[in-house]
Every structure is written in C-alpha cells, then in structure tokens.
Amino acid sequence: MKIISDIDELRDQLSGQLRTAFVPTMGNLHEGHLSLMRLARKHGDPVVASIFVNRLQFGPNEDFEKYPRTMAADVAKLEKEGVYVLFAPTEKELYPEPQEYRVRPPDGLGNTLEGEFRPGFFEGVCTVVTKLFSCVQPRAAVFGKKDYQQLMIIRNMARQMAMPTEIIAAETYRADDGLALSSRNMYLSDSERAEAPELYKGLNFVAEEVRKGNLSVTELEQAAMRLLDGRGWKSDYISVRKRANLQAPDAAELAAGEPLVVLAAARLGQTRLIDNLEI
Ligand code: PAF
C-alpha cells in the first residue's frame, strides 16, 4: 500500500484509474471501517482510503484535539485489507489557506437532528468530502449507515452537484451486544461500555412499537428518552423520521406506511453516541 500525503502525488498515482472506490475516514479504524473497505472492493478497483481528522467539522467545544490518532495501527489494518493507496494529507496540504469556499447543505436536512445539535458539522463534512472527491476522483465512495444523516446529505450533494461518484451505503457494524462500532466508543469507561447498548435497545423499543401499529410516535420518542435519561444518559433526541428526507412524518403519512427510520443521539458521561434503525 502506498501512503501519500501530497495531492499532486496522489493524482499521479491514480491517473488513468477510472474505477476507483473510495472510503474516507478520520482514522482510528475498527471492524466497521474495515467492512466499508470490503464493500468498496465490490464497487471498484483500486480501493483508496483516506485518513484526515477534519477540523472544519468539529465545534469549538468538541473533541478535535483529543480525537484518537492511531496511524501505525490503521496502516497495518489497511495493508491487510489490500487497500491500494492511503491518502493521509496534513492539514497544511488540504487547507493551505483558510477554507473560505464551503459547501453548505440545505436548511431542511442540514439543520435538523445532528445539524441542530452540532451547528456547522455538516458544512464541514460536505466541504471536506467535496475536496477529498476532487483529489481522489472516485467512481464510487462508501459511507456507513451509522451516520445516517451524513450519508443522506452526501448522497444528495453528489446528485445535485452532478458529481461523477456513486454513493454506496454500508450497513452499520455492531458488537454482539448491539452497540454500533464507533471510534468514540473508546472514550467509554468499562461501566459505560456495559451500559452503551441501551441506546440501541431504545431504538428497538420505538421501532417495535411502530411496527406493532402504535403510531403515537411523539409519546414513544419521549418514553424512550425518559427511559435512557432515567439510567443516567442525557439524550439529545430520539426521533422517528421519514427515510426520504429525515423530516417528521404527519399522521396521514404514518397511517399510509411511509418508510421510517428512528434516529438517536445521547450522551453517556463525556461521550456522545449516535445510532439509528430503519423501521
Ligand atoms: O464519517 C466520517 O468519518 C467523517 O465525517 C468523514 C466522512 C470522513 C469526513 O471527514
């Protein structure tokens, strides 16, 4: 595997490659990321990964400085997966001057859920993904459903901007107890790690009730949040939304069987976890 930090060198290395499949990451790779690499292989060749902890998508009080950086271990994992190139630019390479041109998602999708609790997050994500796509020029790129809203925003962005990149969705990779794998799980203490699957249980509770025909979704959402908060969590939201646009369904849409997803974000101690479940 070639490790490249320079954009011109990356372009030289990939010149003539028309079927590149790309997996952008912020590093600290776990099995979930590796499952994205395996899916990428089915959608193109060569597989290119990137590792870049993108300052633009972190709020002032978020964990940019302490975000885990584990380059040597990450490189060994990617080598094993047969990744062809790892693009690992420095901040100076990707943002040599203040990044004044930004890509901002539309208000409806960009300001709800994660967008409400993490202002600027999706603008940072869209801007860096656009820039990474411009460097790698992939035919396909893989994003996990664990970050459901991110996946949807990037898919819409690629479509509306006529990017020549197909956005591929990868299923969420879960531990045996149901916890979705995430780099931030490493912040959890042993007792928090034991508690963490309760978030997924909360999602399952809401999804099961809706499947059984209980369409009082506001009450279900509040009940699930109360349950978590009673166990010591601080929930930001548990919310049933339409899969099509992540807006809240109205009664008629619920009754008509609109495809739904329930999304959650909650803090356990210092760690903020997100998860979701299609209903
Ligand atoms: O999901 C992530 O790891 C990041 O948001 C991404 C897509 C690599 C952009 O920095």
Mean pLDDT by 10 residues, the chain (279 residues): 98 98 98 98 98 97 93 98 98 98 97 97 98 98 98 98 98 98 95 98 98 94 98 98 97 96 97 97
Ligand 1 centre to CA of 219 (Å) is 33
CB of 26 sitting under 6 A from ligand 1: yes
CB of 147 sitting under 6 A from ligand 1: yes
Would you put residue 137 in left (φ > 0), alpha (ψ -120 to 50) or beta? left
Give the atom of ligand 1 at the shortest distance from the alpha carbon of 54.
10
Q: What is the pLDDT of residue 196?
A: 98
Is 44 annotated in some ligand binding site?
A: no
CB of 128 sitting under 6 A from ligand 1: yes
Q: Which CATH class is domain 185-278?
A: alpha beta
Residue with tokens 């809240």: 248
Ligand 1 centre to CA of 202 (Å) is 25
CB of 144 sitting under 6 A from ligand 1: no
Protein residue whose Cα sits closest to atom 1 of ligand 1: 25
Question: Within 10 A of 95 (CB to CB), how many other CB atoms are there?
Answer: 17
> Which of 30, 50, 147 is the pocket-test mutation for ligand 1 (most atoms within 8 Å of CB)?
147
> Which of 70, 86, 125 is the pocket-test mutation for ligand 1 (most atoms within 8 Å of CB)?
125
Q: What is the pLDDT of residue 46?
A: 98
Q: What is the pLDDT of residue 195?
A: 98
The CATH homologous superfamily of the domain defined by 2-170 = HUPs (3.40.50.620)
Residue ranges of the domains in the chain? Answer: 2-170, 185-278
Q: Residue 85 in 3-state DSSP?
A: strand
3-class SS shares of the chain: helix, strand, coil, % to 5? 45, 20, 35
Q: What is the pLDDT of residue 215?
A: 86
